[in-house]
Chain A
Amino acid sequence: MFMEVILQALRETFPAETIEAQPVPISETFVALSPDCIHRAAQVLVERFDLRHLSTITGQDTGSEIELLYHFWDGGGLTLRTSLPREEPHIATLTDLIPGAAFYEREVSEMLGVTFDGHPDPRPLLLPNDWDKEQLPMKNDQ
């Protein structure tokens, strides 16, 4: 029920987007959005629904694009899904809304080469300082 209210709010915020809920086991709802909408959508979740717990950000290379999944949680899971081009992918940071996203974004950044615009501290998190920036460990062709 709660999820329906959130979806309705997202539909009102982005009239141009087709917002459909895709149920995913175990208790998750996936919603696909375009990259430009992610920051605004997170703002709606945080400010209107106090849904501030971002479990993690999954970055994956699907072969044709870089996909980001923002897994929110509040008694049930809500995942915002968005796709970025494989060449020079970038998206707005969520750290201004959710400071806890900082490490998740740094990891996605070093593993898949995604730039998070406005990230306060975009250094690598897990890879060594002298790691070749062109080598992206989670990209499929590397």
Chain B
Amino acid sequence: MTNEQSIDYPTKRLTDQMTRMTIPIGPQHPALKEPISFLLTVEGERIVESVLRLGYVHRGIERICQNRNYVQNVHVVERICGICSHIHTTTYCQGIEALTGLEVPLRALYLRTLLCELERIHSHLLWLGVLAEDIGFTTIFMYAWRDREIVLDIMEELSGGRVAHAVNVIGGVRIDVDQEQVHSILARLDELERQIETLLGVIQHERTFQVRTRGVGHLSAEQVRRYCVVGPTARASGVDVDLRRDAPYAAYDRLDFQVMTADEGDVWARTLVRVQETIESLHMCRQLLTGLPQGVLTVRAPRRVPPGEVVSRGEAPRGELVYYVRSDGSDRPARVKIRTPTLTTLITLPDQLRGVHTADVPAVLAGVDLCIACADR
């Protein structure tokens, strides 16, 4: 933005003198991937105020969960999101397992974690493509989505599904890998890492990318903490939070990994954090595949869950995912509360949009990695 301000464009002078007007964006709009509505008040080219409205994909999942039994709910919560479906079932299942006192076999925990990390790679690459397309950098979009196919193929091979994997069951996992698959996956992960390193190079050195993302959608560490923001968006503003390290679940306590942070707090920093995280996730997948312990995949889970409450947390690709489940002793939960990470980032959007150019709106919206289906539930 500093570059722009130093240049005196005649059109800029004209638009600066224009009066205020309000532009609706959404719920259906070419720049939006999912339905959400924004009312942007602009003064010339600058946004002065924005109001957002959710609920266009609200399906009442929390209520639906109360009317299904615990086993059916694994498949209900998987359908909250089409990108991070596996972390939903992981967080839900580990909650029920803690409530029932089930000891999940180590091999199952490893496979669960493997899918979590593959999902993170796929989610981050999908996001990188969306951002690149929104800022007009179609080449990165094409490459990122092409490379994402490698992960999707691996997940499909492992589970049979590209998006909904149905890997988790209460008490373990339903999939297994053999030695031949491990070798084949490791080889493909090496290939993927080379390609992501190339993408990282482009992001770090390509001027077009920097001009469109640096200083855009800025969030300070203080704003992140005020709004309880989580995940890569918080980490890109220098707030070092990651549940995989802070409260290890599944097999994360057995892995050696770094939590990526940056200080700039803009879309550029978010890109850097996410792409570096993707590479870190690849390393974690390798550790999981080479260190995969032998053993059974599930323990038998009772249909009824003893009365009690549980708060289960997991690090979704977008940050902290929280499940609260209350059992009254029957085979159906009395309450399932789900808080998805996107809900916390949405609340920061009016702050992020204030003062930006209308042309940068797609970059700001894409920058925080919105998942509206998650936020609405």
By the criterion CB–CB under 8 Å, are B55 and A126 in contact? yes
By the criterion CB–CB under 8 Å, are B225 and A126 in contact? no
The winner among A55, A77, A79 for most chain B CB atoms within 10 A is: A55
Interface residues in B190-241 (C-beta closer than 8 Å to A) = 225-229, 241
By the criterion CB–CB under 8 Å, are B346 and A103 in contact? yes
Which of A54, A79, A99, A128 interacts with B55 by CB under 8 Å?
A: A128
User: What is the CA–CA distance of A73 and B225 in the complex, to the nearest angstrom?
Assistant: 12
Is A3 in contact with chain B by the CB < 8 A criterion? no
Interface residues in B323-353 (C-beta closer than 8 Å to A) = 324, 326, 334-335, 337, 339, 343-344, 346-347
Is A32 in contact with chain B by the CB < 8 A criterion? no
By the criterion CB–CB under 8 Å, are A103 and B343 in contact? yes
Q: Which residue of A lies closest to B239 (CB)?
A: A53
Name the A residues within 8 Å of B249 (CB-CB): 26
Which of B54, B58, B227, B326 interacts with A99 by CB under 8 Å?
A: B227
By the criterion CB–CB under 8 Å, are B347 and A26 in contact? no
| Segment touching A, from B18-26, B167-175, B177-185, B308-316 | B308-316
Name the A residues within 8 Å of B309 (CB-CB): 24, 30
Name the B residues within 8 Å of A73 (CB-CB): 313, 320
Q: How large is the interface on B (under 10, 10 to 19, 20 to 34, 35 or more residues)?
A: 35 or more
Is A71 in contact with chain B by the CB < 8 A criterion? yes
Is A69 in contact with chain B by the CB < 8 A criterion? yes
Which of A27, A71, A100 interacts with B347 by CB under 8 Å?
A: A100
Interface residues in A119-138 (C-beta closer than 8 Å to B) = 124-128, 137-138
Name the A residues within 8 Å of B370 (CB-CB): none
Is B376 in contact with chain A by the CB < 8 A criterion? yes
Name the A residues within 8 Å of B344 (CB-CB): 100, 103
CB distance from B206 to the nearest CB of A (A): 34
The winner among A25, A99, A103, A137 for most chain B CB atoms within 10 A is: A25
Listed in ascending order, the chain A residues whose CB lies under 8 Å from chain B are: 24-28, 30, 52-56, 58, 60, 69, 71, 73, 75-77, 79, 98-104, 124-128, 137-138
